[in-house]
Amino acid sequence: MDTNMTERTSPTQTKWRKVAYGGMQPGFDDNHTDESFLEEMVTNANVRKRDMLKVMQDSVSISQYLCIVTLTGLVWIYTLRSTLNENSLLLLDVTLLGLGFLILLLTQEMFSLNLLFHYILNISFFTTSLYLLAPIYQTLTRSISSDSVWAVTVSLLVLHLFLHDYFGSTIRTLEAPNNPTLTSCISLNASVVASVFMASRLPSSLLVFANMLFSLQVFLFAPLVTYCIRKYSFRLHLWFSFSLMVATLAFVYTLHLFLFVMLLGLLVFVTVVCPYWLIRMQEYKFEINGPWDEAKLCFEIVD
């Protein structure tokens, strides 16, 4: 009799349901989970399997730009030592500018003569302004010691290399889908300030102008040219990069043996050791996804 009354009065046990909203379910705690909670767990769903050769090929862009910055530093050193005079440096500027435009004409399909004329006009205004500002740049760090100038210059170049966009260009090309990032713009500004600091130690305003023109061509124009080469032909990009590495190592070897060993070790570290570390670290990566993850929007908001 009592048993029958108990069965009639006891509430029926409701089944637990997995709901996002609605509050607590009667008879269950707020953090309750049943046996099916871990059935939807997925491990390493977003982990990308990387190939050693592909990672090494991608790291060539970093080694290439390291060599470009190293060559820029060598030109600064030779200019300070009076090994390069104004005429030689101006000839180098004109040669690099002509080669850069020639590469753009050969690699860009949408590059037209009107766009070339637009670029030349902008460069003319830019060069004229730089020539007028050269006497100011020459006296900018007159009251600062050379050790401080070198320390600031090296620090700015390290910042430039750390924030540089090695797979894009600060100058937006016709085929570029996105604008330059904030970090790449900061990197460019750091390189420009470093160029101004270094040019301010030169004896003549014409040499300051030639040095600044060379530096800005490298930091502004060289990433655009290398980007166009890589988009046009990846094999050509590899040949150009390895040739640039060999030439840079040869120039550094003539300057100092210790610097040659440091640069060679840095290139091997970036091109071989770092990709090997990345591949090895993938073996220890463990990522789990399941019903506890936050919801993500599956659509894109378009203006």
pLDDT digits (tens, 9 = 90+) for 43-83: 766 667 778 888 888 899 999 999 999 999 999 999 988 88
Q: What is the band of 270 on the pLDDT scale with cuts at 50, 70, 90?
A: very high
Length of the chain: 303
Position 278 scores a pLDDT of 85
Predicted TM-score (pTM) of the model is 0.77
Tell me, what amino acid is at 186?
A: I
Token couple for 223:
């990433």
Position 177 scores a pLDDT of 53
Bigger pLDDT: 110 vs 149? 149
Position 7 scores a pLDDT of 44
Map out the domains of the chain as residue ranges. 52-168+179-281
pLDDT digits (tens, 9 = 90+) for 8-52: 444 555 666 666 555 666 666 666 666 666 666 777 666 677 788
- Work out the burial of residue 185: count CB atoms within 10 Å of its CB; fewer than 13 is exposed, 13-18 middle, 19 or more buried: middle
CA 116 to chain centre: 26
Contact 58, 49 (CB under 8 A): no
As a whole number, the mean pLDDT across the chain is 81
User: Lowest-pLDDT range, 7-11, 104-108, 148-152, 203-207?
Assistant: 7-11
Bigger pLDDT: 18 vs 86? 86
Q: Indicate if the pLDDT at residue 106 is higher than 50.
A: yes
Of the ranges 25-29, 87-91, 106-110, which is most confident? Answer: 87-91
pLDDT digits (tens, 9 = 90+) for 208-239: 999 999 998 899 888 888 888 888 888 999 99
Share of the chain above pLDDT 70, in %: 75
- Please give, one letter per residue, the 3-state secondary structure of the chain: CHHHHHHHHCCCCCCCCCCCCCCCCCCCCCCCCCCCHHHHCEECCCCCCCCHHHHHHHHHHHHHHHHHHHHHHHHHHHHHCCCCCHHHHHHHHHHHHHHHHHHHHHHCCCCCHHHHHHHHHHHHHHHHHHHHHHHHHHCCCCCCCHHHHHHHHHHHHHHHHHHCCCCCCCCCCCCCCCCCCHHHHHHHHHHHHHHHHHHCCCCCHHHHHHHHHHHHHHHHHHHHHHHHHHHHCHHHHHHHHHHHHHHHHHHHHHHCHHHHHHHHHHHHHHHHHHHHHHHHHHCCCCCEECCCCCCCCCCCCCC
Q: State how far the Cα of 13 lies from the Cα of 16, in Å rounded to an integer.
A: 9
- Sorted by sequence, the CB contacts under 8 Å of residue 171 that are 6+ apart come out as 180, 220, 221, 223, 224
Position 45 scores a pLDDT of 67
Position 257 scores a pLDDT of 92
Position 160 scores a pLDDT of 93
- CA atoms within a 13 Å half-sphere pointing along the CA-CB vector of 158: 6
Q: How far apart are the first and last CA of the chain?
A: 72
Token couple for 89:
């440096």
Mean pLDDT of 98-104: 85
Token couple for 211:
């040095």
